[in-house]
C-alpha cells in the first residue's frame, strides 16, 4: 500500500500518504503450519508462500561475490555492518544459506512458476492451481503453505496545507533551503549540515513505487550505487513499458525529501549519502504491493550493505477480505514485519511510516511499523501538532508506537513528469515524515558508524521533545537531529590515514565535532599494533585554519593492517568522549588501501582458536579471525593445495584478544594468486589449527 497522491494545479498540495534465529524459525513454523496449510481447493490460481523443511547446501553459494545472482550476493560492506551487532563467528548464519536449488527445480518440473525466493523465510512464492496445491501438500520438503497477501491502499484523511513559509532563520545557515527550510529546521537538521554532516559514507536503501532521478536538477548530487525492480526483475526503477504513468511518482517524491539537493528550492537531510533503490510495487493492477516483492527487497538491501532502510509503505487491510487484524500487529506475525526484524538483527536501521489510518476505522499503525526495533514515524503539521490521519499505537502487545514524528503535512518535495516537466509540490502523509527521520539516522551514523540500530533509536527517542512523556500519538515526539548526533558523545568523522615513508610514521587525521567546545589538553589518540603489549598514546594536534580538524603521527615501520586505535576528547564542561563509543573494546581499524573506519568487537577469549574466515569463498579479500587467550607468539601461514607455503600473514607476539587478519589473496611477493583451495595454518605455542579457504577470481 502506498500513500495517495492527487495531482493538482501548481502551487496546490498533494495528499499522501535482535531477534534470535530460533525464535524467528519457531514463529514461521507456527504460522505456516496453522490452518493456512489446509488450503481449500480453489477453482482459480493463487499466489502462495511455500515454506520448506530445511536448507541444503547447493551451489551457487550466496557467499560467492562473483558467481551469485545479482540479488543474492552478500557484500563485504554488509559483513562489516553485521560485525556491529554480532561476533565474527555469527556474521554469516543460516539465514544466508540459499533456498535449496533441488526444491526449486522439483517445483518447476511440476510446471509451477516461481515468483520469488526468500532466504530468510526459507520459502518461495509461486502461482498454484487447485490441483497443484493438492500435489504440493504431498511433497516431503514442503512444511506449509500460506497466501501471499496483497495490500490495499488506505487514503489519509484531508489535512490542512501549509499556510505560510517560516524561513526567516535560514539566512543564518550555510545552505539555502528555500521552502524546505521549515521541515528541516523543525528537526534541527541545518545545524548538522553546518558542521559538515550530510550522510556521507552512509548507505541508505529505499523501498517504494519507483524512482526517476536521472536528468533531474534536484538529484544532480545523488549517488545511486545500485537499483532493482522486483516486479520486472531488472535494474530499471523508473517507468518502463507496462508501468502506469504515475508509477515512479511516489518513490521519487520520498527520495527528494530524503536526499534531494537544489539550493534555493529543496535540500534533504541526507543529501550526501549513497542510495540503493528498490522498486517493489506495480500500480496498474489495483495498486497493490505484494509481500514477496517487499521481502525480496529487504533481503537485497541488507545483503548489499545498507546501513539504513527507509520504507514509506504500510500494510493493514487487504482487498480480498483476507485481512490482517489489529491482533496481528504484534511484531511477529506480518511477513513484512518479520523481514524487517531480521534486518534489524543484522545491524540495519529500519525507518518506516506509521501509516495514514489515524482518522478511519482501522486507526492503528500498520506493518512493518509494529516491528520491535523498527523506527515508526508519525506525522505532525508545521505547528508541531499531530496530523489527524497519522496512525496511532500501541502495538497489540502493548509497545508504544509510533516512535517519533516529523513534518508530514505540507512537506515540500519533488515529483517528475508534470505537464510542464517536474514540479515542486506540497504533500501530506507519514510517507513524507519517514524519509526525514531516515535522514537523521544517516547523520547519526556518519558521526558514529559503530552504533547499533538500538543505539540509533535511543539517540532519536531520548533527544525528542516528548522523551520523558511518550504516548501513542507521536511516540517520544519530534527528534532534535543536532542533539541526537551528540547523544552518544562527540562526533569523530572523516578519518583518513597516510603513510610518510621518509619519516616512518603513519599520519591519522580526523574531524572532532563537539557542541560544547574542546579542552585542548584532552585530545589523545591511543594506538596498538598486534606485536605490542598495550595501547600507547600520542597527542592530537589541530590543523591550521580549521577548528575541527586534528591529526596524530604514529611511529610505525610500515602501514599495518593490524593497527587499531581510538581517540578521546573532553569538552569545555569536562565530559569525556571516546571514539568509537565503546572504545577500547571497539576500535577503529584501518585497512589499506581503503582507509575505511570500522568498529571491531574485541573480547578476551578463553582459548586459542582459528575461526572460519569471512567471506568464504571470496574473490579479492577475506578476514581470518584469531582468538588468543594469553600472550603468545603467533604464526599465521597460508599454503596452497600442494602443501607449498605461499605467504606468512603474521609472525608476532600477541596479547590476549580477538584479531581479525586480512588476506588479499597474494603471495609473499604481493603477487595475486590464482583461484583455488588454500589452507590457513595457525601456530600458537603448542596449539596448531587449520582452516580451509576458497578463492574464486
Share of the chain above pLDDT 90, in %: 47
* pLDDT the model gives residue 500: 65
Residues 565 and 615 in one domain: no
Pick the more confident residue, 577 or 159: 577
Q: Is residue 16 part of a domain?
A: no
How many whole angstroms separate alpha carbon 589 and alpha carbon 598?
A: 6
- At residue 505, φ and ψ (nearest 5 deg) are -135, 150
Q: What is the pLDDT of residues 240-271, one digit of tens each?
A: 887 878 888 889 999 999 999 999 999 999 99
How many whole angstroms separate alpha carbon 70 and alpha carbon 301?
A: 11
C-alpha cell at 337: 514485519
Is residue 67 pLDDT above 70, yes or no? no
Is residue 163 pLDDT above 80, yes or no? no
Domain that holds residue 129: 21-151
For the chain, first and last CA: distance in Å? 43
Q: What is the pLDDT of residues 278-309, one digit of tens each?
A: 998 776 554 456 788 999 999 999 999 999 99
**Cβ–Cβ under 8 Å, residues 391 and 354:** yes
C-alpha cell at 8: 493538482
Q: Is residue 156 part of a domain?
A: no
Is residue 603 pLDDT above 90, yes or no? no
DSSP 360-377: SSS-B--BTTTSTT-EEE
Q: What is the pLDDT of residues 628-662, one digit of tens each?
A: 888 888 899 999 888 889 999 888 887 676 676 88
**Cβ–Cβ under 8 Å, residues 357 and 155:** no
How far, rounded to the nearest angstrom, does the alpha carbon of residue 626 sit from its chain's CA centroid?
28
**Cβ–Cβ under 8 Å, residues 414 and 271:** no
Residues 373 and 471 in one domain: yes
Is residue 596 pLDDT above 50, yes or no? no
Residues 470 and 496 in one domain: no
Residues 193 and 95 in one domain: no
Q: What is the pLDDT of residues 41-56, one digit of tens each?
A: 344 688 889 999 988 7
Please tell me the chain's helix, strand, coil percentages from 3-state DSSP, rounded to the nearest 5: 20, 30, 50
Q: Is residue 336 part of a domain?
A: no
Axis crossing angle, helix 291-303 with helix 335-345, rounded to the nearest 10: 10
CATH number, domain of 382, equals: 3.40.50.200
Is residue 571 pLDDT above 60, yes or no? yes
Q: What is the mean pLDDT of residues 182-197?
A: 95
Is residue 337 pLDDT above 80, yes or no? yes
Q: What is the pLDDT of residues 442-481, one digit of tens each?
A: 999 999 998 999 999 999 999 999 999 999 999 999 999 9
Share of the chain above pLDDT 70, in %: 79
Is residue 440 pLDDT above 80, yes or no? yes
Q: Is residue 160 part of a domain?
A: no
Least confident stretch, 85-89, 109-113, 274-278, 567-571: 85-89
How many whole angstroms separate alpha carbon 36 and alpha carbon 143?
A: 11
C-alpha cell at 373: 526495533
- Contacts of 95 by beta carbon, 8 Å cutoff, 6+ apart: 21, 119, 120, 342, 346
Query: Cis link prior to 593 (omega < 30° from 0)?
Result: yes
Domain boundary residue, one of 585, 601, 617: 601
- At residue 218, φ and ψ (nearest 5 deg) are -70, -15
Structure confidence at residue 376 as a pLDDT band (50, 70, 90): very high
* pLDDT the model gives residue 501: 58
How many whole angstroms separate alpha carbon 657 and alpha carbon 601?
A: 10
Residues 112 and 147 in one domain: yes
Residues 200 and 299 in one domain: yes
Q: What is the mean pLDDT of residues 21-34?
A: 50
Q: What is the mean pLDDT of residues 568-595?
A: 78
C-alpha cell at 375: 523506527
Residues 365 and 474 in one domain: yes
Q: Is residue 329 part of a domain?
A: no
Q: Is residue 7 part of a domain?
A: no
Listing from the earlier edge strand, what are the strands of the sheet with 123-128? 113-118, 123-128, 46-52, 142-147
How many whole angstroms separate alpha carbon 363 and alpha carbon 266?
A: 32
Residues 215 and 285 in one domain: yes
Domain boundary residue, one of 463, 485, 507: 485
- At residue 397, φ and ψ (nearest 5 deg) are -90, 10
Rg (CA), the chain: 26
Structure confidence at residue 8 as a pLDDT band (50, 70, 90): very low
Bridge partners (DSSP) listed for residue 227:
277
DSSP 526-554: EEE-TTSSS-EEEE-EEPTT-TTEEEEEE
User: Exposed/middle/buried for 560, CB within 10 Å: 0-12, 13-18, 19+?
Assistant: middle
Residues 576 and 455 in one domain: no
CB atoms within 10 A of CB 180: 29
Residue with cell 556491529: 84
Q: What is the mean pLDDT of residues 585-602?
A: 50
- At residue 21, φ and ψ (nearest 5 deg) are -60, -45
Residues 309 and 378 in one domain: yes
Domain boundary residue, one of 569, 601, 633: 601
Is residue 599 pLDDT above 50, yes or no? no
CATH number, domain of 496, equals: 2.60.40.2440
Pick the more confident residue, 287 or 382: 382
Please tell me the total number of residues recorded for the chain in this structure: 697
Residues 437 and 497 in one domain: no
HSE, CB side, 13 Å, CA atoms: give it for residue 406.
Answer: 35
* pLDDT the model gives residue 27: 53
How many whole angstroms separate alpha carbon 70 and alpha carbon 404?
A: 35
Q: What is the pLDDT of residues 105-149, one digit of tens each?
A: 999 999 999 999 999 999 999 999 888 999 999 999 999 998 887
Sign of CA dihedral 355, 361, 364, 366: negative
Residue with cell 584469531: 626
Residue with cell 526525514: 436
Q: What is the mean pLDDT of residues 76-85?
A: 86
Pick the more confident residue, 184 or 613: 184
* pLDDT the model gives residue 688: 87
From the DSSP assignment, how many helices (H) and strands (E) are in the chain?
Answer: 12, 35
How many whole angstroms separate alpha carbon 155 and alpha carbon 520?
A: 56
User: Exposed/middle/buried for 57, CB within 10 Å: 0-12, 13-18, 19+?
Assistant: exposed
* pLDDT the model gives residue 502: 60
Q: Is residue 168 part of a domain?
A: no
* pLDDT the model gives residue 617: 85
How far, rounded to the nearest angstrom, does the alpha carbon of residue 12 sit from its chain's CA centroid?
34
Q: Is residue 12 part of a domain?
A: no
For 104-133, letters b (16+ CB in 10 Å) and e give beebeeeebebbbbbbbbbbbbbebbeebb
- Contacts of 469 by beta carbon, 8 Å cutoff, 6+ apart: none
**Cβ–Cβ under 8 Å, residues 199 and 306:** no
Residues 634 and 691 in one domain: yes
**Cβ–Cβ under 8 Å, residues 638 and 649:** yes
Q: What is the pLDDT of residues 483-516, one digit of tens each?
A: 999 999 999 988 877 666 566 777 888 899 999 9
- Contacts of 685 by beta carbon, 8 Å cutoff, 6+ apart: 608, 632, 633
Structure confidence at residue 520 as a pLDDT band (50, 70, 90): confident
Instruction: Count up the domains in the chain and report the number.
Output: 4
- Which residue, among 115, 117, 123, has the nearest Cα to 141 in the 3D structure? 123
**Cβ–Cβ under 8 Å, residues 365 and 315:** no
CATH number, domain of 657, equals: 2.60.40.2550
Bridge partners (DSSP) listed for residue 650:
636
User: Exposed/middle/buried for 102, CB within 10 Å: 0-12, 13-18, 19+?
Assistant: exposed
Amino acid at each position: 500500500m502506498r500513500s495517495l497522491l492527487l495531482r493538482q494545479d501548481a502551487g496546490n498540495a498533494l495528499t499522501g500518504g535482535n531477534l534470535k534465529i530460533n525464535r524467528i524459525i519457531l514463529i514461521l513454523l507456527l504460522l505456516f503450519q496453522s490452518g493456512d496449510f489446509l488450503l481449500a481447493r480453489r477453482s482459480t490460481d493463487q499466489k502462495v508462500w511455500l515454506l520448506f523443511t530445511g536448507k541444503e547446501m547447493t551451489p551457487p553459494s550466496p557467499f560467492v561475490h562473483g558467481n551469485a545472482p545479482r540479488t543474492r550476493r552478500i557484500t563485504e560492506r554488509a559483513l562489516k555492518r553485521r560485525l556491529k551487532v554480532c561476533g565474527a563467528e555469527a556474521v554469516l548464519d543460516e539465514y544466508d544459506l540459499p533456498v535449496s536449488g533441488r526444491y526449486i527445480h522439483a517445483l518447476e518440473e511440476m510446471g509451477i512458476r516461481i515468483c520469488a525466493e526468500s532466504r530468510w523465510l526459507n520459502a518461495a512464492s509461486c502461482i498454484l492451481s487447485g490441483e497443484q496445491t493438492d500435489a504440493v501438500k504431498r511433497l516431503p520438503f514442503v512444511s506449509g503453505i500460506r497466501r501471499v497477501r496483497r495490500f490495499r491502499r488506505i487514503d489519509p484523511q484531508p489535512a490542512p496545507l501549509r499556510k505560510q513559509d517560516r524561513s526567516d532563520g535560514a539566512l543564518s545557515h550555510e545552505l539555502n533551503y528555500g521552502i524546505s527550510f521549515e521541515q528541516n529546521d523543525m528537526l534541527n537538521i541545518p545545524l548538522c549540515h553546518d558542521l559538515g554532516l550530510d550522510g556521507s559514507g552512509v548507505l541508505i536503501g529505499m523501498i517504494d513505487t519507483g524512482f526517476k532521478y536521472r536528468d533531474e536538477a534536484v538529484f544532480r548530487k545523488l549517488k545511486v550505487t545500485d537499483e532493482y525492480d522486483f516486479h520486472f526483475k531488472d535494474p530499471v526503477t523508473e517507468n518502463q513499458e507496462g508501468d502506469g504513468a504515475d508509477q515512479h511518482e511516489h518513490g521519487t517524491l520520498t527520495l527528494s525529501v530524503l536526499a534531494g539537493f537544489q539550493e534555493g528550492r529543496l535540500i534533504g537531510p541526507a543529501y550526501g549519502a549513497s542510495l540503493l533503490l528498490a522498486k517493489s510495487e506495480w500500480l496498474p493492477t489495483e495498486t497493490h504491493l505484494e509481500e514477496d516483492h517487499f521481502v525480496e527487497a529487504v533481503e537485497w538491501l541488507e545483503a548489499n550493505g545498507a546501513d539504513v532502510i527507509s520504507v514509506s509503505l504500510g500494510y493493514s487491510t487487504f482487498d480480498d477480505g483476507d485481512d490482517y487484524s489489529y491482533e496481528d500487529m504484534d511484531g511477529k506475525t506480518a511477513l513484512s514485519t518479520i523481514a524487517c526484524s531480521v534486518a534489524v538483527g543484522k545491524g540495519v536501521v529500519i525507518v518506516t511510516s506509521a501509516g495514514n489510518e489515524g482518522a478511519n476505522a482501522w486507526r492503528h499503525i500498520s506493518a512493518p511499523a509494529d516491528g520491535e526495533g523498527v523506527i515508526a514515524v508519525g506525522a505532525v503539521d508545521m505547528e508541531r501538532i499531530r496530523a489527524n490521519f497519522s496512525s496511532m499505537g500501541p502495538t497489540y502487545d502493548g509497545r508504544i508506537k509510533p516512535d517519533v514524528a516529523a513534518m508530514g503535512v505540507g512537506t515540500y518535495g519533488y515529483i517528475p513528469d508534470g505537464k510542464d516537466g517536474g514540479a515542486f509540490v506540497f504533500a501530506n502523509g507519514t510517507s513524507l515524515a519517514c524519509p526525514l527521520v531516515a535522514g537523521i539516522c544517516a547523520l547519526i551514523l556518519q558521526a558514529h558508524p559503530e552504533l547499533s540500530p538500538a543505539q540509533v533509536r535511543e539517540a532519536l527517542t531520548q533527544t525528542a521533545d516528548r522523551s520523558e512523556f511518550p504516548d501513542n500519538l507521536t511516540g517520544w515526539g519530534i527528534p532534535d537531529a543536532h542533539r541526537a548526533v551528540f547523544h552518544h558523545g562527540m562526533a569523530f568523522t572523516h578519518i583518513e590515514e597516510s603513510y610518510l615513508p621518509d619519516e616512518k610514521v603513519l599520519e591519522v587525521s580526523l574531524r572532532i565535532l563537539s557542541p560544547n567546545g574542546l579542552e585542548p589538553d584532552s585530545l589523545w589518540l591511543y594506538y596498538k599494533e598486534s606485536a605490542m603489549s598495550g595501547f600507547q598514546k600520542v597527542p592530537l594536534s589541530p590543523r591550521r585554519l580549521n577548528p575541527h580538524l586534528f591529526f596524530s603521527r604514529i611511529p610505525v615501520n610500515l602501514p599495518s593492517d593490524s593497527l587499531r586505535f581510538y581517540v578521546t576528547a573532553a569538552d569545555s564542561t569536562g565530559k569525556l568522549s571516546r571514539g568509537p563509543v565503546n572504545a577500547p573494546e571497539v576500535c577503529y581499524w584501518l585497512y589499506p588501501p581503503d582507509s575505511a573506519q570500522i568498529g571491531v568487537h574485541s573480547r578476551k577469549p578463553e582459548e586459542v582458536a582459528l575461526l572460519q574466515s569471512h567471506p568464504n569463498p571470496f574473490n579479492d579479500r577475506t578476514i581470518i579471525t584469531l582468538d588468543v587467550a594469553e600472550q603468545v607468539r603467533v604464526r599465521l601461514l597460508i599454503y596452497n593445495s600442494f602443501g607449498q607455503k605461499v605467504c606468512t600473514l603474521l609472525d608476532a607476539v600477541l596479547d590476549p584478544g580477538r584479531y581479525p587478519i586480512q588476506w588479499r589473496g597474494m603471495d609473499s611477493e604481493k603477487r595475486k594468486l590464482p583461484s583455488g583451495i588454500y589452507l590457513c595454518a595457525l601456530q600458537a605455542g603448542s596449539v596448531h589449527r587449520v582452516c580451509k579457504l576458497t578463492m574464486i577470481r
